[in-house]
Structure 1
Amino acid sequence: MSDELAHDFSPIIKVYKDGRIDRLLGTSTVPACIDPQTGVQSKDVVISTAPPISARLYIPKSTATESAQKLPLLVYFHGGGFCVESAFSPTYHNYLNSLVSEAKVAAVSVEYRLAPEDPLPAAYEDSWAALKWVESHLAGNGPEDWLNRYADLNRVFFSGDSAGANIAHHMGLRVGSEKLVGFKLNGIVLVHPYFWGEEPIGGEVALAESLRKMVPALWRFAYPLTSGSDDPFFNPGKDPKLGELGCEKVLVCVAEKDALKDRGWYYSEVLKKSGWNGVVEVSEAKEEQHVFHLSNATCDNAVTMLKKIVSFMN
């Protein structure tokens, strides 16, 4: 076994020249359960076996016993640079439990294939397949009882963080351009979205060179066939279809000390100029780093952000 590295994206992932892959985070998983803190129930479903796509579903406490009234549905896409993490990891399981509990929504947290074994666009295709699966429950006779009983497909939201926010944006775009009519997408929440571009903007010129190189290098690693940092999948400002975003409102959450912060603000600006006729707002957490809310869910800024997302969905 050779310890020579082909790619070193520490602290995310390392790939050795002999083909071994060492994921440095997001590899542990926890089972679906009734969460003792929030009473939120979860269970896992298989959406497709070839390719392998699954999801973890969540419903808030007492939904099963109480009202006949249906709940808004959140479709969530986890982050991790398209190459680490999972819908079943403790990080995302805990986050979805608190979000579902606070917002009183049902949720589908999508487990998509990861690079480099399954490079992009696999994650996009898997996420779209998951949305088509959600859509199949429109008449209340889809394959999954929880969605048939509890999900109001006229009130659907997408969200994700980092690479997952990138996915959430592109799924919203595809809903708009392909006119997916099986549900109504009300809004999208992008948390610290993983976007970039060839030309540095805002504070990006002052970033450490190693960081400025790593952001697009990780993208190329996840998507070897990409055209580069101005690929519309990575730089929405270069996307002629941007105005077709298929929802009425967007919330972009950014963090002051995140290298990707200026891209979140830039996204809101280009979206406003794209011909899209919705409303976009940006919320910035002071003094915080990239996806701070996942590692420190109870800090003031994380609680504030959660409340902001909850009120956006309600």
Structure 2
Amino acid sequence: MFSYNMDAAKPEVALDLSPFIILYKDGRVERLLGNEIVPPSLDPKSNVLSKDVVYSKEAELSCRLYLPTGVAPGQKLPILIYIHGGGFCVESAFSPIYHNYVNALVAEAEVIAVSVDYRRVPEHPLPIPYDDSWNALKWVASHANGDGPEAWLNNHADLRRVYLAGDSAGGNIAHHMAMRFGQEKLIGVNVAGIVLIHPYFWGKEPIGNEVNELKRVLKGISATWHLACPTTSGCDDPLINPTTDPKLASLGCSKVFVAVAEKDLLRDRGLLYSETLKKRGGGGVIEIMEAKGEDHVFHLFNPTCYNAVAMLKKIASFVSSQN
């Protein structure tokens, strides 16, 4: 009689980085979260209008644009380029949590936002997500003379006040976009500041609360980095540990906002980044905000809690300020 072994049919796991992603030995990639998407819309809560626009025909990549509906004809607004998080491997610019968050931020700050969708690891390892995000910034820069491909940006974007923002891995990318801008520049664009929310920075030697963490947790963060950047020199690579970057002071903006959360394992890396930047004289004005009692990217999952609303208002003030 034929006996079928169910276990034999299960694909073998090559790398399990739950709750984010599982890689199988047959090459299949299973993303465990961030797979849901929502369409652009006129959001009734924030009264913000959004639409999707292609920013790279070559790579077939789009971004989601956001515009407050109350903006007057010809009125110029700061532009916020938002880069989503998710360990470089999950989520998208079209995920419900990011769509909702950017809607709220645009309404509060009265800015135009460009939410960037970049190709994700492991199919597209770093530096591809960096390069995609840079191409999105170059696409925005193509509107500097008011004759770019997108009317919203031609009519309303103040390219003298561009802010790069992101959370977690997106915060890492935003930092590196500012570093690249400091070295390469883009004609007609001024990156006024960056907003890093719980940025994904790390290091070889544990610091602060990392010392008390389980080794498997620390190994998981390191493994996520090595998955994202197979060619990395390790966890002290300036791409993941910017405090080791001798060029850190050349950050191409005059204002930096760093948000950390008390219970976030990445908290001390965000604080170290801010302290190092101050010591080296990079970034100009540096603001730090810590959310007591909160964990990593809490604001995305509990956007109406006190600390999330307070952070939203602080970021809105930072990006809408004329200073």
TMscore range, shorter length: over 0.9
State the alpha-carbon separation in 2 of the partners of residues 25 and 49 from structure 1: 27
State the alpha-carbon separation in 1 of the partners of residues 302 and 16 from structure 2: 26
Alignment-derived partner of residue 32 in structure 1: 40
Deviation, structure 1 residue 262: 0.1
Alignment map for 1:1-314 (pairs within 5 Å): 2-63=10-71, 66-276=72-282, 278-314=284-320
**Secondary structure, aligned partner of 1:169:** helix
Check whether the contact 1:2–1:18 (CA below 8 A) recurs between aligned residues.
Answer: no
Check whether the contact 2:167–2:297 (CA below 8 A) recurs between aligned residues.
Answer: yes
Check whether the contact 1:61–1:101 (CA below 8 A) recurs between aligned residues.
Answer: no
Q: One-letter code of the match for 2:104?
A: S
State the alpha-carbon separation in 2 of the partners of residues 4 and 49 from structure 1: 36
State the alpha-carbon separation in 1 of the partners of residues 85 and 125 from structure 2: 15
State the alpha-carbon separation in 2 of the partners of residues 38 and 30 from structure 1: 16
Check whether the contact 2:166–2:197 (CA below 8 A) recurs between aligned residues.
Answer: yes
Structure 2, gaps ≥5 residues long: 1-8
Q: Deviations over 1:164-192 (max 9, x none)?
A: 00000000111111122321111111000
State the alpha-carbon separation in 2 of the partners of residues 211 and 260 from structure 1: 12
CA RMSD of aligned residues (A): 1.0
State the alpha-carbon separation in 2 of the partners of residues 214 and 277 from structure 1: 31
State the alpha-carbon separation in 2 of the partners of residues 182 and 209 from structure 1: 47
Q: One-letter code of the match for 2:299?
A: H
Check whether the contact 2:88–2:228 (CA below 8 A) recurs between aligned residues.
Answer: yes
Deviation, structure 1 residue 50: 2.1
Range that drifts further, 179-188 or 233-242: 179-188
Deviation, structure 1 residue 207: 1.2
Q: How many residues align?
A: 312
Structure 1 stretches of 4+ with a deviation exceeding 6 A read none
State the alpha-carbon separation in 2 of the partners of residues 134 and 169 from structure 1: 17
Deviation, structure 1 residue 208: 1.6
**Secondary structure, aligned partner of 2:202:** coil
Q: Deviations over 1:112-137 (max 9, x none)?
A: 00011111110000001111111000
Deviation, structure 1 residue 3: 2.5
Larger Rg: 2
**Secondary structure, aligned partner of 1:86:** coil
Q: One-letter code of the match for 1:46?
A: V
Check whether the contact 2:251–2:283 (CA below 8 A) recurs between aligned residues.
Answer: no
Range that drifts further, 277-286 or 229-238: 277-286
Check whether the contact 1:83–1:222 (CA below 8 A) recurs between aligned residues.
Answer: yes
Deviation, structure 1 residue 277: 5.8
Q: TM-score, normalised by structure 1?
A: 0.97
Q: Deviations over 1:134-157 (max 9, x none)?
A: 100000000111100111001111
**Secondary structure, aligned partner of 2:196:** strand
State the alpha-carbon separation in 1 of the partners of residues 64 and 86 from structure 2: 17
Structure 1, gaps ≥5 residues long: none
State the alpha-carbon separation in 2 of the partners of residues 68 and 118 from structure 1: 39
State the alpha-carbon separation in 2 of the partners of residues 179 and 293 from structure 1: 32
Q: Deviations over 1:260-298 (max 9, x none)?
A: 000000000111122326011211000101000000000
Deviation, structure 1 residue 216: 1.1
